[in-house]
């Protein structure tokens, strides 16, 4: 495998891991939903296993991202004028301060946990 292929696989692996964490699901949950084994998801996210076009499409649908984003063909972040970001900002602005604090703590705990991964590297 060439260095550029290794680099591309690493980028895809990183994007898949980021998308899964942003979706708030564990490797075990993804494996179950896609009919795979959890170690397969781990190997994909580590960049040790190739991902087929069909699998990429399934991951993109599950994580609500585009295949182009998973392939690093589009920007790393949401654009400021992205309607989803604007909707989220409007909804957050309606929350009471205590509810916003609670939500932020919940989001922080979700980002820091991979509850069904059994402590494996993600």
Assess whether pLDDT exceeds 60 at residue 115: no
Q: What distance in Å separates the CA atoms of residue 12 and residue 67, rounded to the nearest whole number?
A: 10
CA distance 66 to 86: 19
Helices (H) and strands (E) in the chain, counts: 7, 0
Burial class (CB in 10 A: 0-12, 13-18, 19+), 3: exposed
- Give the rounded percent of residues in the chain with a pLDDT score beyond 70: 83
Q: Which pLDDT tens digit goes with each residue over 33-83?
A: 999 999 999 999 999 999 999 999 999 999 988 898 899 887 655 566 667
pLDDT higher at 112 or 97: 97
Three-class secondary structure of residue 1 per DSSP: coil
118 band by pLDDT with thresholds 50, 70 and 90: very low
> Is the pLDDT reported for residue 112 higher than 70?
no
- Whole-prediction pTM value? 0.61
Residue in 66, 64, 72 with CA at minimum distance from that of residue 47: 72
Nearest-angstrom CA–CA distance, 45 and 15 = 8
Task: Give the pLDDT score at 120.
Answer: 44
Q: Indicate the pLDDT class of residue 30, thresholds 50, 70 and 90.
A: very high
**Residue 117: what pLDDT?**
45
Domains in the chain, ordered, with CATH? 1-75 (1.10.260.40), 78-109 (no CATH)
């Amino acid at each position: 495998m060439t260095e550029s292929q290794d680099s591309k696989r690493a980028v895809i692996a990183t994007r898949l891991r980021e998308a899964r964490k942003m979706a708030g699901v564990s490797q075990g949950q993804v494996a179950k939903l896609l009919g795979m084994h959890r170690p397969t998801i781990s190997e994909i996210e580590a960049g040790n296993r190739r991902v087929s076009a069909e699998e990429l499409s399934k991951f993109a649908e599950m994580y609500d991202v585009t295949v182009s984003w998973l392939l690093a063909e589009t920007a790393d972040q949401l654009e400021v004028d992205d309607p989803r970001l604007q909707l989220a900002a409007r909804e957050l602005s309606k929350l009471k301060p205590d509810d916003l604090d609670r939500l932020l703590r919940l989001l922080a705990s979700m980002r820091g946990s991979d509850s069904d991964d059994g402590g494996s590297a993600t």
